[in-house]
């Protein structure tokens, strides 16, 4: 069976006309907020692709509320609507965190009174010290480098309305920040972004995907993702140039062609293998697949039929 049998393939042209008239155009302030999030984001894409996407999320939210209400009638007790959890997955450097921040911003605009929080699953990576002791430093990002049970527990606590603390990963120090936590206090909507969002710990009976009400897989051709990875590596190096505490600072001293070779090698030996073996196989668990081409231009969207 074809991997996409279970999906409707929707061209960008068709998608951008869905619900067009019922979505208010972006205001000047909103445009500025998007620009400050990432000035490379195409505003045309926001209008044509991401606004209809947020409109779709509205439908899932309504569905969750209706179901909680109906369950309450059946059980003859008040059942509080749990937070809506949205998972965003895809390869390293495909644009997950940019998509997640954009969706957070657009959802906050669509639901002005609701709180929309964002958590990245790199906070659930084991600290370097643990990875080192388990000889897993060069497996960072692979399933065994994450504390998946802790991620599962966190998702359960969020659905249960509990206050949670999440560790924070820093790309600057290439490790979990010691003694710093992100506080998540009973949000109405939680976005969870990361390469492992649709993966399940092997020993668990509960699937991580059971907790998502909506999920997005950001997809692109592998050669294009490699290009984005190399470009991001380059910008990380520029940011690290005058900062000796930054993990990437050590690479700024190397000749340029050596740096490029190193980044290519990391892509080929780590991130590409991870994509092929563990990330891409979870693609068809997502509700929506956003397919991107050059310049992060979304050309097609797949929506799960059932």
Ligand X SMILES: CC(C)(COP(=O)(O)O)[C@@H](O)C(=O)NCCC(=O)O
Detail the residues annotated as belonging to a binding site for ATP. 90-97
Total residues contacting ligand ADP (rule CB under 6 A)? Answer: 16
Q: Counting contacts by CB under 6 A, is residue 40 touching ligand ADP?
A: yes
Q: From the CB of 270, what's the least distance to ligand X, in Å?
A: 4
CA nearest neighbour of 110 among 128, 129, 80, 84: 84
Q: Which of ligand ADP, ligand X, none does 95 bind, CB closer than 5 to 8 A by kind?
A: ligand ADP
Binding site residues, ligand X, CB under 6 A: 92, 96, 122, 140-141, 194-195, 266, 270-271
Report the SS3 class of residue 92: coil
What sign does the dihedral 237-243-248-254 (CA atoms) show? positive
176 φ, ψ (degrees, to nearest 5): -70, 135
**48: Cα separation from own chain's centroid:** 20
Residue nearest to ligand ADP (CB): 95
Q: From the CB of 86, what's the least distance to ligand ADP, in Å?
A: 15
CA dist 144 and 148 (Å) reads 8
Q: From the CB of 234, what's the least distance to ligand ADP, in Å?
A: 9
CA dist 280 and 250 (Å) reads 32
CA dist 145 and 127 (Å) reads 9
Q: Counting contacts by CB under 6 A, is residue 94 touching ligand ADP?
A: yes
Q: From the CB of 151, what's the least distance to ligand X, in Å?
A: 13
**Chain residues that interact with ligand ADP, rule: CB under 6 A:** 38, 40-41, 90, 92-98, 228, 231-232, 235, 296
């Amino acid at each position: 069976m074809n991997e996409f049998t279970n999906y409707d393939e929707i061209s960008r042209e068709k998608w951008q006309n869905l619900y067009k008239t019922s979505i208010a155009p972006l205001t000047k302030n909103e445009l500025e907020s998007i620009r400050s999030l990432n000035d490379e984001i195409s505003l045309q894409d926001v209008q044509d692709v991401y606004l209809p996407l947020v409109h779709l999320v509205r439908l899932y939210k309504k569905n969750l509320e209706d179901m909680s209400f109906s369950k309450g009638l059946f059980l003859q007790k008040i059942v509080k609507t749990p937070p809506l959890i949205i998972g965003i997955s895809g390869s390293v450097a495909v644009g997950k965190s940019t998509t997640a921040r954009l969706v957070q911003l657009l959802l906050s605009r669509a639901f002005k009174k609701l709180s929309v929080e964002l958590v990245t699953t790199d906070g659930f990576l084991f600290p370097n010290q643990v990875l080192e002791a388990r000889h897993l430093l060069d497996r960072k990002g692979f399933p065994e480098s994450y504390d998946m049970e802790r991620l599962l527990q966190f998702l359960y606590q969020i659905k249960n309305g509990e206050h949670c603390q999440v560790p924070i990963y820093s790309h600057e120090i290439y490790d979990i920040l010691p003694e710093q936590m992100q506080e998540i206090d009973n949000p109405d909507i939680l976005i969870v972004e990361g390469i492992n969002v649709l993966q399940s710990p092997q020993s668990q009976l509960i699937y991580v995907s059971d907790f998502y009400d909506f999920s997005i897989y950001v997809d692109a051709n592998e050669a294009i993702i490699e290009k984005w990875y190399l470009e991001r590596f380059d910008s990380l190096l520029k940011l690290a140039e005058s900062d000796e505490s930054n993990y990437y600072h050590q690479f700024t001293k190397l000749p340029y062609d050596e740096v490029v070779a190193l980044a290519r090698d990391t892509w080929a030996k780590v991130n590409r293998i991870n994509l092929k073996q563990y990330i891409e196989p979870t693609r068809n668990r997502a509700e929506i697949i956003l397919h991107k081409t050059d310049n992060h231009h979304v050309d097609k969207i797949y929506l799960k039929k059932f």
